[in-house]
Amino acid sequence: MEAVLRAVAIYAFLMLLFRIAGKRSLNEMSNFEFVLLLIVGEATQQAVLGKDYSVTNAFLVVLTLISINIALSLLKQQSERLKRIFDGMPLVIVENGRPLKQIMDKVRIVEDDVLEAARELQGLERMEQIKYAVLETTGIISIIPKKE
């Protein structure tokens, strides 16, 4: 019983924390953020497993975490409201080559991030070539180029 409860508690806590941290956190990972993610994993591992290092406990914890994920994905499919709560919504950050500064500041994105995505995804060179840049719910910036 404890294995399930521990897994649920840690899942809920991490879900809440990463929603608070924002979409861009740990998405485009720097070396430091990668290390941070490892430390988060190490710290939560202690809390999830407790002193029980049995194979059964590991199975039950993993089973619970995956099951919560499946259950949430099914619920999100059923309810738009739940999907918004757990995943957030996409956000337009560049419109017709014009960066929406106020919005970008709120989501902690600078023009360089947009240009980097534009170069990587579409091979674009300048902001004016972008029709729309969208911060997706996954934290990725997607780029729609202007038609030549």
Choose one: 14-22, 36-44, 52-60, 121-129; the region binding other proteins (CB under 8 A).
Answer: 52-60
How far apart (Å, rounded) are the C-alpha atoms in residues 32 and 40?
12
Chosen residue from 66, 75, 85, 110 binding other proteins by CB under 8 A: 66
- What H or E segment, with its residue span, contains residue 55? helix 55-78
Residue 9 interacts with other proteins (CB under 8 A): yes or no: no
Chosen residue from 32, 70, 147, 148 binding other proteins by CB under 8 A: 70
**CB contact at 8 A, 103 and 81:** no
- What H or E segment, with its residue span, contains residue 62? helix 55-78
Chosen residue from 25, 67, 129, 142 binding other proteins by CB under 8 A: 67
How far apart (Å, rounded) are the C-alpha atoms in residues 12 and 8?
6
In this complex, which beta carbon is closest to other proteins, that of residue 50 or of residue 90?
Answer: 50
Chosen residue from 63, 75, 89, 110 binding other proteins by CB under 8 A: 63
**Sequence-distant (≥ 6) Cβ neighbours of residue 100 within 8 angstroms:** 92, 93, 94
In this complex, which beta carbon is closest to other proteins, that of residue 9 or of residue 37?
Answer: 9
# binding residues, other proteins (CB under 8 A): 17
Q: How far apart are the first and last CA of the chain?
A: 61
Q: Which residues bind other proteins (CB under 8 A)?
A: 1-4, 51-57, 60, 63-64, 66-67, 70
